[in-house]
Amino acid sequence: MGNATMSVLVTGFFDLLHSGHVRFLERAAEFGPVTVVVGSDDNSLHLKGRLPLCREDERLYMVRSLGVVSHAVLDEELGRLGFASEMRRCKPKYFVINADGDDVEKRKLCEEHGVEYVVLERLPATGLPARSTVAWRDEIPKLPYKIGIGGFVDQPKIGNVHPGSVIVISIEADAELDRFSGLATSTRDLTLDLFGPRLPAWMTPQRLAEIVFACENPPSRKHLSGTMDPLGLFFPGVSRLDYANGEYWPVSTERLVDDVNLDWLQSVLYLAQTGRRPPGMPSPMDTAKPTKENIGRMDSAVRKAFSAMQEMNAPMLGQALTECYLACTEIIPAFAPPHVQQALESLQEQYLGAGLTGAGGGGYAVVISESPPQEGMGVRIRRQEA
């Protein structure tokens, strides 16, 4: 297509399509026929560490259905300039963007290609309220996710060899995080089926965990799932769970719920994408080689991490996470595929330390840094039980 049919280029994720999006596109269309580059799911993971609430094919369908849009495609590259290939292809006269998306790199790209850069202030349509996707996300009921540090000791195959501890952190997110990435998404899905999008206020976290654990493990199930996930989802704050030999439930729990500690932890703890778990990957547990020594090393690293959280010592916490990850790879040799190992090693070199959350395979790394990492996102730790 030539310039006559493609004189305006815009880009965005257009998640939870609302009147603010439509008004922006209407105003962009005042400059000419509009082409929209819709951000892909992979680019959302790359830039934000999370998936949009609506899948890329659904978002593309909705944008294409709007009368003010002449053409819409998914971006082809990762990064803030994921639309660059489409800009080179269609050679628009204008690139139009909202003020909160103004970016030096975008301006420079437009200058290089002779494209006029237009910044619009957010203005709602007459008589309608101002809308933004971020504000809408805040209104949507959400279930928590779980970050895990350490692992496996709630499984008899590991716990029967030697007792150990794990740390679980209940976190809130403004949008759906990537699935199968060690954040207890399958347990979370079951909870959604049972209770809907909000946890019942009349149940204690312990009772919720008991119910969900029972539903995850019906009588016909041969191998029971562990208890880290439901306990980590439902207990607010940070919990260290101590497991005795062969026990599914922790024999003791130490919790960290003080706002001072949790505020500090939020300031140094980030999630970074390491790449998705490969499709069809067998369970890392199949490669388990537990010994008293390597389980003991993991337990020591977990306890060191919990002490660092209590003392608010970021270097100590980063070192403990790295030590915990290394111990996990000794217990489960297939804990991380090569591309995840490479990503983690890079994070460990750049920041104070990093480990892989969950039972392995890929997804999110827990990164400790005293300043926001270049790639990754902060977390919000749950403070209330309902």
Q: How does DSSP assign 25-79, residue by residue?
A: HHHHHTTSSEEEEEPPHHHHHHHHSS--SS-HHHHHHHHHTSTTEEEEEE--SSS
pLDDT of 350 above 80: yes
Instruction: Check residue 6 and give its pLDDT.
Output: 58
Q: State the pLDDT confidence band at 282, using cuts at 50, 70 and 90.
A: low
- Whether 3 is covered by a domain: the verdict is no
Looking at per-residue pLDDT, the higher value among 120 and 135 belongs to 120
Lowest-pLDDT range, 110-114, 135-139, 250-254, 297-301? Answer: 135-139
Which of 146, 373, 167 is CA-nearest to residue 272? Answer: 373
- Whether 333 is covered by a domain: the verdict is yes
Looking at the fold, whether 129 and 261 belong to one and the same domain comes out as no
pLDDT of 331 above 80: yes
User: Which token pair is 314?
Assistant: 């970021």
pLDDT of 116 above 60: yes
Looking at the fold, whether 199 and 234 belong to one and the same domain comes out as yes
- Whether 276 is covered by a domain: the verdict is yes
With helix as H, strand as E and coil as C, how does 167-190 read? Answer: EEEEEECCCCCCCCCCCCHHHHHH
pLDDT of 79 above 70: yes
Looking at the fold, whether 70 and 98 belong to one and the same domain comes out as yes
- Whether 225 is covered by a domain: the verdict is yes
Looking at the fold, whether 306 and 322 belong to one and the same domain comes out as yes
Cβ count within 10 A of residue 311: 12
Distance CA 213, CA 225 (A): 8
224 backbone dihedrals φ, ψ, rounded to 5°: -75, 145
The domain total for the chain is 2
Looking at the fold, whether 97 and 185 belong to one and the same domain comes out as no
* Domain carrying residue 33: 8-137
Q: State the pLDDT confidence band at 4, using cuts at 50, 70 and 90.
A: very low
Give 119: exposed, middle or buried? Use CB within 10 Å, 0-12, 13-18, 19+: middle
Query: Is residue 225 classed as helix, strand or coil in its secondary structure?
Result: coil
Which of 149, 9, 175, 148 is CA-nearest to residue 86? Answer: 9
- Whether 1 is covered by a domain: the verdict is no
Distance CA 260, CA 269 (A): 14
Residues 40 and 77 sit within 8 Å (Cβ to Cβ):
no
Mean pLDDT of the chain: 87
Looking at the fold, whether 372 and 289 belong to one and the same domain comes out as yes
Residues 250 and 241 sit within 8 Å (Cβ to Cβ):
yes
Looking at the fold, whether 344 and 366 belong to one and the same domain comes out as yes
> Considering 137, 160, 188, which residue would you say is the last residue of a domain?
137
CATH for 356: 3.30.230.120
> Considering 110, 137, 164, which residue would you say is the last residue of a domain?
137
> Considering 137, 167, 186, which residue would you say is the last residue of a domain?
137
Instruction: Check residue 81 and give its pLDDT.
Output: 92
Residues in the chain: 386
